[in-house]
Amino acid sequence: SAAEKGGHEYFMLKEIEEQPEALANTLRGHFESGRIILDEQRISDQDLRDVDKVFVVACGSAYHSGLVAKYAIEHWTRLPVEVELASEFRYRDPVLDRDTLVVAVSQSGETADTLEAVRHAREQKARVLAVCNTNGAQIPRESDAVLYTHAGPEIGVASTKAFLAQIAANYLVGLALAQARGTKYPDEVAREFAELEAMPAAVQKVLSTVDQVRDLGRRIADSKAVLFLGRHVGFPVALEGALKLKELAYMHAEGFAAGELKHGPIALIEDGLPVVVVMPSPKGRAVLHSKLVSNISEIQARGARTIVIAEEGDETVRPFADELIEVPAVPTLLQPLVSTVPLQVLAAEIARARGYDVDKPRNLAKSVTVE
Ligand code: AGP
């Protein structure tokens, strides 16, 4: 009913709006007396200290949350982090032992590929921490420990609030590891946590500007394809933006690392092709920012219609943006939490304009319980 959907036409639109709350709920209670606390202390501080390698295994959007987290966890902990599609993991011969931490990320906790990856990791004696949105689901039951995301039930098949909550939870895992290993001082951990706690307000700010994105969505709804480009943490955001568009609008969409453009994908650019570019901060990542500005000018010169997600006040990129979508300035590692939101809205609006059911895209199930 309309009431269940909070007055929205679709659950997904309600869930997009619930993201600030989902983030706040996921973070709540995880910083007490100056320390990061993970939900269940079945992985002790000693165990966390002994970790010498991290794997994140997941599918779809949850996998993208792992790709985002790799940047933060490696930076904070100096541990190598591999992010792997759960469906590939056990079919090669991953190098695991008791000092490997495997983080299995799953909204439903019932995804068969991820469950099998968990089983494989445990057989190899690795420690498995589930990051899950569903209480008591199979993946947390079969893991050594669990960190619940508290995004609340997600009904729309396309993941939105659970994805943002997964990023936040993965970051908590990174901070817990940094704290246990001493690669960050307690005051630095406290500062990182405080920055995370400021994110619900930043996401709320993005939500107040979605009308512009909706309007853009309607105007590009009859495109044949859309490309998404990003670098650093903006790269997984580009992948997520493309996945949303495929799922909901049945449109050909690809995400690329912008640095790869000249290694092939630039051949795809043609007149009128919408290309969404996720910009890094001009101050926080000045070098990458200027490389992306030159990418955008190149593709614009070849006729692309450039849609640029940039930090507020980013004047350098403005001349190259056919459409400019501004998001608040936040620390670089946290940028995916704001820059993903317009891409969710864009995909939903394009799908609506094309007349599709945003909550129930064709051929898809909310949780994929067969391999
Ligand atoms: C996301 O929009 C998708 N519907 C899908 O990729 C999903 O993220 C994936 O199937 C993993 O699901 P899980 O988090 O429940 O394991």
The predicted structure's pLDDT at residue 14: 94
The question of ipTM being above 0.95 is answered as yes
In angstroms, what is the span from residue 61 Cα to ligand 1's centroid?
A: 5
- 208 with 344: CB under 8 angstroms? no
- Atom 3 of ligand 1 has which residue's CA nearest to it? 158
- State mean pLDDT over 172-199: 97
CA of 60 to the centre of ligand 1 (A): 5
- pLDDT the model gives residue 41: 62
Count CB neighbours of 3 within 10 A: 6
CA distances from 83 to 55, 75, 87, 340 (A): 6, 15, 12, 19
Name the closest-CA residue to atom 10, ligand 1: 60
For position 160, what pLDDT does the model report? 97
Q: Who wins on pLDDT, 45 or 13?
A: 13
Q: How far is the CA of 186 from the centre of ligand 1 (A)?
A: 34
CA diameter of the chain? 57
**In sequence order, which residues have a C-beta less than 8 Å from that of residue 334 and are 6 or more positions away?**
195, 196, 199, 202
Top mutation candidate among 11, 59, 84, 132 for ligand 1, by most atoms within 8 Å of CB? 59
Residues carrying an active site annotation: 366
Per-residue pLDDT band at 45 (split at 50, 70, 90): confident
Is residue 177 classed as helix, strand or coil in its secondary structure? Answer: helix
Distance between CA atoms of residues 27 and 24, nearest Å: 5
Mutate to test the pocket of ligand 1, among 159, 161, 240, 245 (most ligand atoms within 8 A of CB): 159
Residue 3 confidence (pLDDT) above 80: no
Distance 297 CA to ligand 1 centre (A): 34
**Residues recorded for the chain:** 371
pLDDT in tens, 74-117: 999 999 999 999 999 999 999 999 999 999 999 999 999 999 99
Ligand 1 atom 4, closest CA = 158
Q: Which residues contact 123 (CB under 8 A, 6 or more apart)?
A: none
Task: Say if residues 69 and 20 touch (Cβ distance below 8 Å).
Answer: no
Q: What is the mean pLDDT of residues 222-244?
A: 98
Angle between the N-to-C axes of helices 199-207 and 19-27, in degrees from 0 to 180, rounded to the nearest 10: 170
**Mean pLDDT, all residues of the chain:** 95
Question: What DSSP assignment string belongs to 286-347?
Answer: HHHHHHHHHHHHHHHHTT-EEEEEEETT-TTTGGG-SEEEEE----GGGHHHHHHHHHHHHH
Q: Can you give the pLDDT at residue 151?
A: 96
Cβ neighbourhood burial of 162 (10 Å; 0-12, 13-18, 19+): buried
Q: To the nearest whole percent, how much of the chain has pLDDT over 90?
A: 89
Please indicate whether residue 136 or residue 45 has the higher confidence score (pLDDT): 136
Q: What is the spatial distance between Cα 41 and Cα 284, in angstroms, rounded to a whole number?
A: 35
Beta strands in the chain (DSSP E): 31-32, 35-36, 53-58, 81-85, 100-106, 127-132, 145-148, 225-230, 252-257, 274-278, 305-311, 323-327
The residue whose CA is least distant from atom 7 of ligand 1 is 60
What confidence score (pLDDT) does residue 367 get?
86
* Per-residue pLDDT reduced to its tens digit, 252-294: 999 999 999 999 999 999 999 999 999 999 998 999 999 999 9
Residues having CB closer than 6 A to ligand 1 are 59-62, 106-108, 111, 114, 157-159, 247, 367-368
Rounded to an integer, the average pLDDT of 296-304 is: 96
Best of 237, 367, 369, 370 for a ligand 1 pocket test (most atoms within 8 Å of beta carbon): 367
Phi, psi of 331 (to 5 degrees): -60, 145
Measured from the Cβ of residue 152, the count of other Cβ atoms closer than 10 Å reads 15
- Ligand 1 centre to CA of 146 (Å) is 18
**What distance in angstroms lies between residue 184's CA and the mean position of ligand 1's atoms?**
32
Give 40's pLDDT tier (boundaries 50, 70, 90): low
